């Protein structure tokens, strides 16, 4: 009876230990499987985060590039608008210049016509000036004759503009006109009663042309009627000498007496 009761008790603990080992093994296997799955999940999540970060970086870069391109586009638009305004202004200027060129071309055509007409006019003016000098009182004859000769030489020159030629002719007329308002003196050799003598000439406008010898001993005047120098009385000696000193600015301006021919009676 005792042997039969001990045999069943020795088998029961062996079955329980096997069950415990099997349970623990299954638990360990289940835990290992769960751990592997979480690691994979974390790795995939990390890869997705890194990919998202790279995508965001690309998006930020594209946004910055787009912003720069937009700014450049706006700048180009402003430049284009500025060029349009500038081109419109240039078109106005070109239009004005074309009108001015047209007017200048018409003026040049007119100048050509005037030039053909003014050259004969200047030649006639020089001839008239020479005739006037020959008929005028014989003062500064050398200077006045040389001026007329220079005008004739200038008219033959091709390197002198027509405007300059005309200006010089007018200047010669102005000088002749000024002679009628000035008083001056100069030394000259004149013929008196068939004899050449060195004298001091005093010109008072075109009113009188008188002379006096350097020693002051003889004075005279130019007679327009006889076209010759004639002596005058001693009463004018001091007055003529004073006039010569005034013309030389050796004396203050004052009144002085000189003989003057009266106007000829009309025939």
What is the tens place of the pLDDT at every residue in 165-190? 999 999 999 999 999 889 999 999 99
Tens-place pLDDT, residues 147-169: 999 999 999 998 998 889 999 99
Taking the domains of the chain in order of start, what are their residue ranges?
A: 65-179, 183-259
Mean pLDDT for all residues in the chain: 81
The Cα–Cα gap between 136 and 134 comes to 6
Query: For position 11, what pLDDT does the model report?
Result: 45
Segment (H or E) for 182: none
Q: Of the candidates 223, 165, 153, 238, which has an alpha carbon nearest to the alpha carbon of residue 192?
A: 223
The Cα–Cα gap between 9 and 252 comes to 175
Strand pairing of 219-223 and 228-231? Answer: antiparallel
Q: Which residues contact 239 (CB under 8 A, 6 or more apart)?
A: 256, 257, 258
Query: For position 224, what pLDDT does the model report?
Result: 87
Q: Which residues contact 221 (CB under 8 A, 6 or more apart)?
A: 208, 209, 210, 211, 229, 230, 232, 258, 259
Query: For position 53, what pLDDT does the model report?
Result: 85
The Cα–Cα gap between 136 and 176 comes to 10
Using a cut of 0.75, tell me whether the model's pTM lies above it: no
Residue 64, exposed/middle/buried by CB under 10 A (0-12, 13-18, 19+)? exposed
Residue 74, both tokens: 């706006």
Q: Which residues contact 160 (CB under 8 A, 6 or more apart)?
A: 154
Q: Stretch 133-143: mean pLDDT, rounded?
A: 92
In the numeric block, the tokens 């042309």 are attached to 209
Query: For position 26, what pLDDT does the model report?
Result: 53
Tens-place pLDDT, residues 80-137: 888 888 888 888 888 888 888 888 777 767 777 777 888 899 999 999 999 999 999 9
In the numeric block, the tokens 């202004």 are attached to 89
The Cα–Cα gap between 180 and 188 comes to 20
Q: In this model, does residue 234 exceed pLDDT 70?
A: yes
Q: Stretch 46-62: mean pLDDT, rounded?
A: 84
Q: Stretch 6-35: mean pLDDT, rounded?
A: 47
Residue 213: CB atoms within 10 Å: 14
Residue 1, both tokens: 């009876």
Q: In this model, does residue 202 exceed pLDDT 60?
A: yes
Query: For position 14, what pLDDT does the model report?
Result: 42
In the numeric block, the tokens 């005047």 are attached to 221
The number of CA neighbours under 13 Å toward the Cβ of 126 is: 22
Tens-place pLDDT, residues 25-52: 555 445 444 555 778 777 877 888 888 8
Query: Contact at 8 Å (CB) between 231 and 210?
Result: no
Segment (H or E) for 12: helix 2-135
Segment (H or E) for 137: none
φ, ψ of residue 251 to 5 degrees: the values are -145, 155
């Amino acid at each position: 009876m005792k042997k039969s009761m001990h045999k069943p008790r020795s088998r029961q603990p062996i079955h329980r230990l096997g069950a415990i080992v099997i349970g623990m093994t299954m638990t360990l296997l289940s835990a290992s499987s769960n751990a592997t799955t979480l690691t994979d999940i974390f790795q995939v999540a990390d890869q997705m985060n890194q990919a998202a970060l790279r995508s965001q970086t690309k998006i930020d870069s594209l946004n910055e590039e787009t912003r720069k391109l937009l700014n450049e586009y706006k700048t180009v638009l402003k430049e284009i608008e500025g060029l349009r305004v500038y081109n419109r202004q240039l078109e106005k200027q070109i239009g004005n210049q074309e009108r001015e060129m047209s007017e200048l071309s018409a003026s040049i055509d007119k100048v050509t016509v005037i030039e053909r007409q003014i050259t004969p006019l200047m030649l006639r003016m020089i001839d008239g000036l020479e005739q006037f000098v020959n008929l005028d009182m014989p003062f500064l004859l050398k200077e006045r004759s040389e001026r007329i000769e220079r005008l004739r030489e200038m008219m033959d020159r091709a390197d002198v503009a027509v405007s300059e030629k005309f200006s010089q002719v007018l200047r010669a007329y102005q000088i002749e006109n000024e002679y009628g308002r000035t008083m001056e003196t100069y030394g000259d050799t004149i013929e008196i009663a068939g004899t050449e003598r060195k004298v001091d000439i005093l010109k008072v406008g075109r009113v009188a042309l008188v002379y006096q010898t350097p020693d002051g001993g003889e004075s005279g005047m130019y007679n327009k009627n006889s076209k010759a120098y004639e002596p005058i009385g001693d009463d004018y000696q001091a007055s003529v000498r004073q006039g010569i000193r005034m013309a030389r600015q050796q004396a203050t301006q004052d009144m002085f007496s000189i003989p003057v021919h009266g106007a000829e009676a009309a025939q």
